[in-house]
């Protein structure tokens, strides 16, 4: 698939079905619609959407859910449609989150990633995150460890 330009923007009510589809294909234990709705209702939480055109229609290519608490940004989820991966969408989403929250006063960004998710870990390291610790057995579905990654924002 040839992509037109990617547009990053805020969540819109009509995005939820596409987000849930991406969520289901991306994670062994996907978030439910209720979890996303709770995130939307939280004053700490934001959902950033990457959109692209497919013919005349605009579709959700990926998304990220993040919190900004005082001077810290915590990235909870970042996912891209399987057929659109490895095209810079996740990098664009993450860079935008970092830039937005840095402008709002965030000094650090953190995230947890499955220990076995090497492509994501490599992306985060390329973006400037470094490993700061491990949460043993963190993921209840597989008992896989979570790698804690941290970045000081410039």
Any idea what the CATH number is for the domain that residue 76 is in? 3.40.630.30
Instruction: Tell me, yes or no, whether 114 lies in a domain.
Output: no
Q: pTM (2 decimals)?
A: 0.90
Give pLDDT, residue 105. Answer: 95
Is the pLDDT score of 84 beyond 60?
yes
Q: What is the pLDDT of residues 14-43, one digit of tens each?
A: 899 999 999 999 998 999 999 999 999 999
**Residue 115 confidence (pLDDT):** 96
Q: Is residue 149 part of a domain?
A: no
Domain with 30 in it? 7-108
Can you tell me which residue has the tokens 């970045």? 151
Helical residues (DSSP H) of 30-143, grouped into ranges: 33-41, 89-103, 118-127
pLDDT of residue 55: 76
* Tally of domains in the chain: 1
Which tokens is 124 given?
Answer: 């985060």
Establish if 132 belongs to a structural domain: no
In-domain check, residue 118: no
Q: Give, for 11, the enclosing helix (H) or strand (E).
A: none
Q: Is residue 64 part of a domain?
A: yes
Which pLDDT does position 5 carry in this prediction?
Answer: 83
Q: Give dist(CA 104, CA 73) in Å, integer.
A: 10
Q: Report how far residue 30's alpha carbon sits from residue 45's, in angstroms, rounded to the nearest whole number.
A: 18
């Amino acid at each position: 698939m040839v992509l037109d330009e990617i547009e990053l923007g805020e969540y819109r009510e009509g995005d939820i079905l596409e987000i849930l589809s991406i969520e289901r294909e991306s994670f062994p234990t996907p978030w439910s619609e209720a979890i996303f709705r709770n995130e939307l209702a939280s004053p700490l939480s934001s959902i950033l959407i990457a959109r692209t055109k497919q013919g005349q229609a605009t579709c959700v290519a990926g998304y990220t859910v993040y919190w900004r608490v005082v001077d810290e940004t915590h990235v909870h989820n970042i996912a891209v449609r399987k057929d659109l991966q490895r095209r810079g969408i996740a990098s664009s989403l993450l860079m935008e989150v970092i830039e937005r929250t840095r402008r709002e006063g965030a000094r650090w960004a953190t995230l947890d990633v499955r220990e076995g998710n090497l492509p994501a870990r490599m992306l985060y390291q390329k973006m400037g995150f470094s490993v700061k610790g491990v949460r043993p057995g963190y993921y209840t579905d597989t008992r896989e460890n979570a790698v804690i990654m941290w970045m000081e924002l410039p």
